[in-house]
Each structure stands twice: as structure tokens, then as C-alpha cells.
Amino acid sequence: MKHLQAVRTEWGGPLTLTSTWRPEEYNKSVGGAPNSQHLVWATDVVPSNPTPERVKALAKIAEEFNFDGIGVYPDKGFVHLDMRGYEARWHG
């Protein structure tokens, strides 16, 4: 959570968390991967007034604050962040 607060401070504006920890049953019902980081610790973050450029900028800031997993979804308007213990990067 300290890392997430640091991202928000650096962003300089509000961020909306749209998906955080999920119970296994809910994760399955929304089509989440069986080994989803949302079953452990993950969050999907939406910047205010999301555009592809703003989503990419938010992901770049997250890189500075040591998130292990960073998934960038510019066309869907959010960034996935997690602390899986190893580096993973992807674009959706």
C-alpha cells in the first residue's frame, strides 16, 4: 500500500481502484485466471480522465516504485499492479 500511495502522490491526482483482492469464487465468475494475482495482492488502477496516453504515463510512474507486475491496458483505461515477487510486464 505504501508503493500505491507513492504512485498516487507522484501522479498528483486521484486514482480509482477498480479491482483489488478477489475471493476465488468471484475471480472465477469474472473470468480471472486460476492463478490470478488478484487472489493474493493486486489492484487495477484507473487514472482520472483515462486516455491511452495517461494510462501509459501511470504505468511508467509505477515502474519507479518497484511494483513487480505491471500490466498496461491503454484501450481499457487501467493499469494492473501487483507484488508477485518477480518482475512481469505485459500489455493488454
Kindly report, residue by residue over 25-80, the tens digit of the pLDDT.
Answer: 999 999 999 999 999 999 999 999 999 999 999 999 999 999 999 999 999 999 99
Give the alpha-carbon dihedral of 62, 64, 69, 71, to 10 degrees.
40
Give the total number of structural domains in the chain: 1
pTM, 2 dp? 0.92
Q: What is the pLDDT, as a whole number, of residue 5? A: 95
Kindly report, residue by residue over 2-21, the tens digit of the pLDDT.
Answer: 999 999 999 999 999 999 99
Q: How far from 68 is each of 31, 37, 87, CA to CA, in Å?
A: 22, 11, 5
The CATH number covering residue 75 comes to: 3.30.1380.10
Give per-residue burial for 9-46: e unless 16+ CB within 10 Å, then b.
eebeeebeeebeebeeeebeeeebeeebbbbeebbbbb
> Which domain covers residue 82, as residue numbers?
2-28+36-91
d(CA 20, CA 61): 19
